[in-house]
Copies of this chain bind each other. A is one copy, B any other.
Amino acid sequence: MTARSPRASSPKPRLPGVLLAGFEPFGGETSNPSWDAVRALHGERIASHRVATCCLPCEFGTSLVALRQAIAELQPALVLCVGQAGGRAQLSLERVAINIDDARIADNAGARPIDEPIAADGPAAYFSDLPIKAMLADLRAAGIPAEVSQTAGTYVCNHVFYGLMHALHRSGVRGGFIHVPFSPAQAAYHPGAASLPIDTVSAGLRIALRSALTHATDLRIAAGAEH
Residue numbers of A with Cβ under 8 A of B are 27, 83-90, 92, 95-96, 98, 100-105, 112, 114-115, 123-127, 133, 139-140, 142-147, 150-155, 157, 179, 183-185, 187-197, 200, 218, 220-227
A104 touches B226 (CB 8 A): yes
Decide: A153 near B115, CB < 8 A? Known: A146-B188, A184-B145, A193-B145: no
A225 touches B127 (CB 8 A): no
Question: How far, in angstroms, from A200 to B96 measured CA to CA in the complex?
Answer: 33
A222 touches B90 (CB 8 A): no
- Measured CB to CB, the closest approach of chain B to A132, in angstroms, equals 9
Question: How far, in angstroms, from A124 to B89 measured CA to CA in the complex?
Answer: 27
Interface of A: prevailing SS? loop
Which of these, B104, B140, B188, contacts A188 with CB under 8 Å? B140
Question: How far, in angstroms, from A123 to B126 measured CA to CA in the complex?
Answer: 9
- Measured CB to CB, the closest approach of chain B to A195, in angstroms, equals 6
Among A145, A183, A194, chain B packs the most CB atoms within 10 A around the CB of A145
> Lowest 8 CB-CB distances: which A-B pairs, in order?
A102-B224, A125-B125, A154-B224, A143-B185, A194-B194, A85-B227, A145-B187, A89-B194
Decide: A114 near B222, CB < 8 A? Known: A89-B187, A96-B124, A193-B145: yes
A187 touches B90 (CB 8 A): yes
Closest B residue to A26 using CB positions: B226
Closest B residue to A112 using CB positions: B222
B125 touches A96 (CB 8 A): yes
A100 touches B95 (CB 8 A): yes
B98 touches A96 (CB 8 A): yes
Decide: A192 near B147, CB < 8 A? Known: A102-B223, A126-B124: yes
A90 contacts across to B, CB distance below 8 A: 187, 191-193
Closest B residue to A179 using CB positions: B227
A86 touches B226 (CB 8 A): yes
